[in-house]
Structure 1
Amino acid sequence: MSDVTVEVMEKKLVTNQRPTDAIVGESPLHHADLASIASQGPQEGGVHFCEHKLLGLLTLRCVPLPQQQEEIESLLGVALPMAPLTSVTKDDTSIGKVSVRWVGPDEWLIIVPGDEAFDLETRFFETLSGHFSLVNISGGSTVFDVSGDQVVSMLKKSIPVDLHIREFPVGKVVSTIFAKSGAIVCRLGENQFELVVRRSFADYLWLWVQDASREYGLVVKTS
């Protein structure tokens, strides 16, 4: 018998991926024991790596009318970034830190604390008017944070994107190839980037980052 809880609201199916504390979520890099590497490995290097595991990630698709935009801002605590390739982040919303990444003309990636994803999804279906699609992709993705003095050099080996600060300013976001997989890449600072990657490719991309960072020195951190 399944432990997954399914609720139906006005013909909309919402699934709680972690309905009880008995269901323990694990990072796709659980086997790599990043905590031990962080404490026992190198403490200095040109590239720093951190996995922000088990965050809540939701994909929103709609062509928002003014009323929808107001409703979404009320739900998230931040307004949708409407300009292409832009993003917004607010640390102190009612549900904690919320980031929204523009993915396409009618698509956004919403990143929230993991334990808020199901409740937020439920409130969207209860509150938001008009046509829209909201999909919880938390279980299929994870978030890497890469930073350091040599992070741009490392990323130049990995993605076919001009990373010069004039062409890729802080806050810009792109969906692109990363090695032989893909990632949604957002610049958080001059030498800091967020990579949203598929869970099934997380181990491969972790190994790739290790290899691409070898000449600069890799420091692993925990969130």
Structure 2
Amino acid sequence: MHHKKVLLISRTTRLHDRMRELSHELDISVLLATPDTFGQAITSTADFGLVTLDLAGVSDDLASRVSAYSAENGCIPILLVTDEDRLGQLRMPVQGRNDFILAGAGAAEFEVRMTQLLWPGEENTPSDIVVIDNMTINLATYQITIDDKPVDLTLMEYSLLSFLATHPSRAYSRETLLHRVWGFEYCGGTRTVDVHIRRVRSKVGPQVASHIVTVRGVGYLFKL
């Protein structure tokens, strides 16, 4: 599965925490928009892999605009988020691969539905297993082993290492890593990246740690 961009359109912030969680679990970055900033959002970035539209308080006109935008750009999948008491009024877009989910659904259901729309047919493939020297990363189960022994990493340590390992031979700035790994609205400083890199290096051992290269004045690179 490769990185995708997701556009979230919502009048409220009720889905923001959920999207932050999903940006950790899935290889996605999320752009936030409101009904008023939808037009600006689609002109700033054109290559969205999914549009998530929270229907709470949204006009039929906006829903039609989102559907038209999807159709005009290769039928971008749309995930509609609705409340249970509004199900009888739900109208799915006619074109493309689309789905809906209840706003109160659990994190696991959100992850499954978004994954099926973003990477159809790629949910469980051999690419879920990444082997580098004596390290194995299972992207499906979020597990890392060294010499077949599990490594005790925190979620953010795992996310940082797996991101770098699956995007090798390219230097990423600390700011980019904060955005791609920590999520779209992380407010901490860039020093947290250095702290996590140091912890990851100490836990995976010298053989794997040698692949994580500090690029002076830029950030970090995973060298194969």
Shorter-chain TM band: under 0.3
Structure that is richer in strand per residue: 1
Q: TM-score normalised to the size of structure 1?
A: 0.24
Q: TM-score normalised to the size of structure 2?
A: 0.24
Higher RCO, Cα 8 Å, sep 6+: 1
Structure that is richer in helix per residue: 2
